[in-house]
Amino acid sequence: MLSGKTAIVTGSNSGIGLAIAEALAADGANIVVNSFTDGSADHAIATRIAKEHGVEAVYLKADMSKGVECRDLVERTVARFGGVDILVNNAGIQHVSPIEDFPVEKWDAIIAINLTAAFHTTAVALPHMKAAGWGRIVNIASAHGLRASPNKSAYVAAKHGIVGLTKTVALEAAGLGVTCNAVCPGFVLTPLVETQITDRMAELGLDRETTIRDVILEKQPSKQFATVEQIAAATAFLASDAAAQITGTTLSIDGGWTAA
């Protein structure tokens, strides 16, 4: 379905990004796996994906907190594969703290990685997609792109920002075969959320099960985590030809959170 296409998935050595890389490879796309580390385990992920799905896959290190490296990631992909057809802006970090205590460096890092990185990668990838007459940009936003929670000022600001960026890029690319959409997961059990569970257990003196049900999933009516595979399947759908007329929208996968 996506054979011959090339996909960059930022932040794809873990969690949701890794599942997205797997799903796009399963649909036949060549894959650029990315993170900011450069260990043998990172390259092994690309090697495994290539072998399991019969596609080409490489690991390219690029720190999404640095604009130059974001832009360079896209240029290196084009140099390696001859183009970039699918861009999934997924890399993200979290920090939880009341705004008056929110460390400035955490604010800067969250805005840089969760929002500004997508500006840089999109700015370089979009001309290639427009020239090819086909492209898919999927931004992994969050329920926090549509709703706020206390103590997550930077994350909520960045995720609301990326929803706005998504709509703007969709309008700039409309009619040219290029779509741009945001996926908005509720809570998904990944390392990013695992940290929040252990922090809240320690803070509130609750066991893991109670913390997950009553604290972490408080706003998620299904009381179930979304899975990385569900987020990946939605992303793969948005990358497909069936989604050619879906652009500038948000797709919530949040167990009903934003219905309320």
Residue number, 12 or 122, with CB nearest to ligand NAD: 12
Given 6, 30, 35, 235, the residue binding ligand NAD (CB under 6 A): 35
Buried b (16+ CB within 10 A) or exposed e, 121-143: bbebbbebbeebebbbbbbbbbb
If binding is defined by CB under 6 A, does position 14 make contact with ligand NAD? yes
If binding is defined by CB under 6 A, does position 153 make contact with ligand NAD? no
Report residue 101 as tokens.
């205590």
Cα separation, 200 vs 194, in Å, equals 10
Report residue 52 as tokens.
């399991």
Count of positions on this chain that bind ligand NAD (CB under 6 A): 28
Given 55, 63, 126, 173, the residue binding ligand NAD (CB under 6 A): 63
Residue number, 31 or 91, with CB nearest to ligand NAD: 91
Chain residues 176-195 in contact with ligand NAD, contact rule CB under 6 A: 185, 187-188, 190-193
Q: Which amino acid is at 102?
A: F
Cα separation, 227 vs 144, in Å, equals 17
Place of tokens 């929040």: 196
Least distance from ligand NAD to the Cβ atom of residue 217, Å: 10
The one segment of 90-98, 168-176, 199-207, 239-247 that binds ligand NAD by CB under 6 A: 90-98
From the candidates 59, 81, 107, 155, give the one annotated as an active-site residue: 155
Active site residue 155: yes
If binding is defined by CB under 6 A, does position 220 make contact with ligand NAD? no
If binding is defined by CB under 6 A, does position 15 make contact with ligand NAD? yes
**Please, is 40 exposed, middle or buried when counting C-beta atoms within 10 Å of its C-beta (0-12, 13-18, 19+)?**
exposed
Q: Is residue 30 within 8 Å of 7, Cβ to Cβ?
A: yes
Cα within 13 Å of Cα(246), Cβ side: 19
Cα separation, 42 vs 66, in Å, equals 19
Just list the catalytic residues.
155
Which parts of this chain interact with ligand NAD (CB under 6 A)? 10-17, 35-36, 63-65, 90-93, 113-114, 140, 142, 185, 187-188, 190-193
